[in-house]
Amino acid sequence: MGEFSAVGAWPGVIAELIAGNELSPQVAAGALERMLDGTATDAQIAAFIVALRIKGETVEEVAALVGAMLAVSSPLHLDNPEATLDIVGTGGSKALAGKAFNVSTIASLVAAAAGATVCKHGNRKASSTSGSTDLLEALGVAIELDGEGVVSCVRSAGVGFAFARMFHPSMRHVAPVRAQLGVPTVFNVLGPLSHPGRVGRQVIGVSDPRLMQLVPQVLRRRGLSRAWVIHGEGGLDELTTTGSTQVTELIDGELRSFVIEPEQVGLARVSLDEIRVGGPEENAAAAKSILAGESGALRDMVVLNAAAGLVVGECADDLAAGVELAAAAIDDGRAAGVLERLVAASQAAAQAQSN
């Protein structure tokens, strides 16, 4: 008998959470396994994730859930996952009222242009009006690629996109419940933590400041070599030029925390109104303008977040150097070239996949 059954299956597990008790890793993993294999009912899924959220997720519980999620993910065999970077956010930010520019996606292109090897893991929109998938599709990128297709993009363009629905198909059993609940749950954290390529370097933005304690410790538990977990002032899940950004850095098992102000790296402080954007088409138009060299608040946000990726990817010694490298990669056309190669490589991969 497994531990999940030993504690009384769903009634026992939910009762433990209601009582405020921490679940063992085996029980937490057992619960998710039953959600992902379709045997859990919608009521059981909803009760579990709401009760877990109210109790508060622990490092051990989340690490176990990540392991269970990756155990049933579709394969993505990157050439050098340890040195590959992902820039991603949890979503859930209310600060921009659904009008956030998808900074992490364009920052990923810029980081790749400046020398990082990038495999971005993402999904449809969460807090921004345009999720990574929505924006990339608007830019002409084919996103429904399997592992071979994603790897071919990384090889050709220095960046690939792993669409979460392609690599975590079992999440289809949970997605309707999440949508009906309409509030952040542990799955907002599991997505960024469950990169199917098991990358060794991540910049993870969190909109909930409470996650600044949890996420770095889970990353350490999962064995990542280097990461930044970031929280922008006002609830943004990215480094921001609108205020201060809290950072917790993971390097070889050690954690340290610090605060970044935009002025420290020569960027102007701006208002939230200056970084508001509309839907996918507006996001795509803004992205094209940035890659064409247009200056302004959105470009600065992209440069700042790409710079963080360059530090984590060990392409820059510090954030200021990363800002210079990112800006140069935009100004000399390399970032636009990366997008062109990604579009071509992804379309070719999609064609090969369909044959």
- Spell out the domain ranges in the chain: 3-71, 82-165+180-340
Confidence band, pLDDT 50/70/90 cuts, at residue 96:
confident
Give the pTM.
0.94
Q: Which of 7, 39, 11, 45 is nearest to 26 (CA)?
A: 7
Residues contacting 148, CB < 8 A, separation 6+: 349, 353
Which is nearest to 126 in space by CA: 202, 52, 208?
208
CB atoms within 10 A of CB 183: 10
Task: Give residues with Cβ within 8 angstroms of 138, minimum separation 6.
Answer: 130, 280, 281, 283, 284
Identify the band that residue 97 occupies on the pLDDT scale cut at 50, 70 and 90. Answer: low
Residues 165 and 171 sit within 8 Å (Cβ to Cβ): yes
pLDDT at residue 278, rounded to an integer:
80
The domain made up of 82-165+180-340 has a fold known as Pyrimidine Nucleoside Phosphorylase; Chain A, domain 2 (3.40.1030)
C-beta pairs of 137-142 under 8 Å, 24+ apart in sequence: 137/280, 138/280, 138/281, 138/283, 138/284, 139/284, 139/287, 139/288, 139/339, 139/343, 140/343, 140/347, 141/339, 141/342, 141/343, 141/346, 142/346, 142/347, 142/349, 142/350
Please state, rounded to an integer, the average pLDDT across all residues of the chain: 94
- Which pLDDT does position 131 carry in this prediction? 74
User: Closest by alpha carbon to 297, among 335, 260, 269, 326?
Assistant: 269
In this predicted model, what pLDDT tens digit does every residue of 203-260 receive, in sequence order? Answer: 999 999 999 999 999 999 999 999 999 999 999 999 999 999 999 999 999 999 999 9
CA distance 52 to 65: 12
- Residue closest to 76 by CA, chosen among 23, 151, 16, 139: 151
What mean pLDDT is predicted for residues 41-69? 98
Position 100 scores a pLDDT of: 81
Of residues 281, 303, 277, 306, the one with CA closest to residue 290: 303
Same fold: 3-71 with 82-165+180-340: no
Integer Cα distance of 167 and 179 in angstroms:
19
Question: Once rounded to an integer, what is the mean pLDDT over residues 193-212?
Answer: 96
Statement: residue 127 has pLDDT above 70: no
Give the tens place of pLDDT for each residue, 272-330. Answer: 999 988 888 889 999 999 999 999 999 999 999 999 999 999 999 999 999 999 999 99
Would you state the pLDDT for residue 139?
94
Picking from 342, 337, 322, the residue whose alpha carbon sits closest to that of residue 132 is 342
Q: Quote the tokens at residue 278.
A: 């509309």
Residue 157 half-sphere exposure, CB side, CA atoms within 13 Å? 31
pLDDT at position 128 is 47
| pLDDT value, residue 239 | 98
| Per-residue model confidence (pLDDT) at position 95 | 74
Specify the DSSP class assigned to residue 258.
Answer: E
- The domain 3-71 is placed in CATH, from the list 1.20.970.10, 1.20.810.10, 3.40.50.300, 2.102.10.10, at 1.20.970.10
